[in-house]
A = this chain, B = another copy of it.
Amino acid sequence: MRQFVFEDITSEEVARRTGVYTPLTDSVRQLLDAAIRTEVDPDTIRAAGELIDRATAMLRSAQTDGPHGVRYTADGTGMPWGNPAIGIRNAIAPPMVVTRDGDRLVADVVLGAAYEGPPGLVHGGICALLLDHILGEAASAMTGTLTLRYQRATPLGAVHLEAEVVATAGRKLTVRGSMSDADGITVTAEGIFIAPRLTMTERPDDREGP
């Protein structure tokens, strides 16, 4: 398994990189939406495709070998930038921006065409993706069991998410959360999450054995 990676960079460097990557990902996100909704003729689609392939070749001229991984700065700031729910480098992610509000984590997200399941509605699996993520982040743990109850369909548009740890027993945490729109809750979630035994690189004090 790939390990968590520490990079010895300052918070200024994190901010600088964020400033470089965020506009790129926003551009890819816009393109992704346009590719779903476009009605232009086949020649224009081919011409757009050529521009996209040129952009991809430029970006691939230097790239990591495998996936992005989850990187941490020396002071422990996480950079889960490839994450499909919250990653600032992943155009799959809306991205969901999670903040703390007392004991709860909360997030407000606007879901457009790219997240549609039934016509005009958020795909149930996208609700699951975002809820799994915010519940997991509340627990700082990996999912053991997750139960989702779809109270009613979630229309595309603005949604609000919440998650809160309601019980802890050793490495096992019970977390509850919900997705809602302006009219109230659309999906509730309850999960058992298991806190990982982390293996960190470049942290000699955490290494096991000789």
Contacts and interface: CB of A to CB of B under 8 A. Distances in A.
Interface of A: 1-5, 20-21, 23-25, 27-28, 30-32, 34-40, 42, 44-49, 51-56, 58-64, 66-70, 81-85, 87, 89-92, 112-121, 123-126, 128-133, 136, 142-150, 153, 155-156, 196
Given A36-B90, A52-B55, A82-B114, 18 more contacts: A2-B121, A21-B35, A24-B45, A34-B56, A35-B91, A37-B64, A39-B64, A67-B116, A68-B116, A82-B116, A84-B114, A91-B91, A92-B92, A92-B115, A124-B136, A125-B133, A128-B146, A146-B147
Nearest to A26: B49
Given A52-B31, A91-B32, A92-B32, A1 B121 contact: yes
Nearest to A122: B84
A150 to B, nearest CB: 5
A55 B59 contact: no
A171 to B, nearest CB: 14
Given A53-B27, A132-B125, A143-B148, A119 B70 contact: yes
A52 B52 contact: yes
Contacts of A81: 36
5 contacts: A21-B35, A28-B32, A35-B89, A36-B89, A148-B148
A41 to B, nearest CB: 8
A38 B63 contact: yes
Contacts of A67: 36-37, 112-113, 116, 119-120, 156
Contact of A3 (B38, B59, B119, B125): B119
Among all A-B residue pairs, the 4 with the closest Cβ atoms: A2-B120, A125-B129, A125-B132, A128-B128
Contact of A84 (B27, B116, B131): B116
Contacts of A121: 1-2
